[in-house]
Amino acid sequence: MRLSLSINGVSRLVAAVSGSGYLGGYLNLHERPKDNDYSKSIRLSGTQTLDTETIRFEWPTFDLKTGDAVEIRVLDDGEGDAPSEVRRSSESPQNLFTNIELAKELLTLVSDFESRLIPLIEKSKETEPVDEQKKIALSIGYVLTELGDRLLYPIYRRHKELVPDELKGELL
Per residue in 87-112, pLDDT (tens digit) is 998 888 888 898 999 999 999 999 99
Cα–chain center distance at 151: 16
- Are 89 and 157 a contacting pair, CB within 8 Å? yes
pLDDT tens for 60-92 read: 999 999 999 999 999 999 999 999 999 998 888
pLDDT tens for 130-163 read: 999 999 999 999 999 999 999 999 999 889 899 9
97: number of CA atoms within 13 Å, CB side?
20
Phi (first) and psi of residue 40, to 5 degrees = -135, 130
Measured CA to CA, the distance from residue 167 to residue 149 in angstroms comes to 13
- The verdict on pTM exceeding 0.85 is no
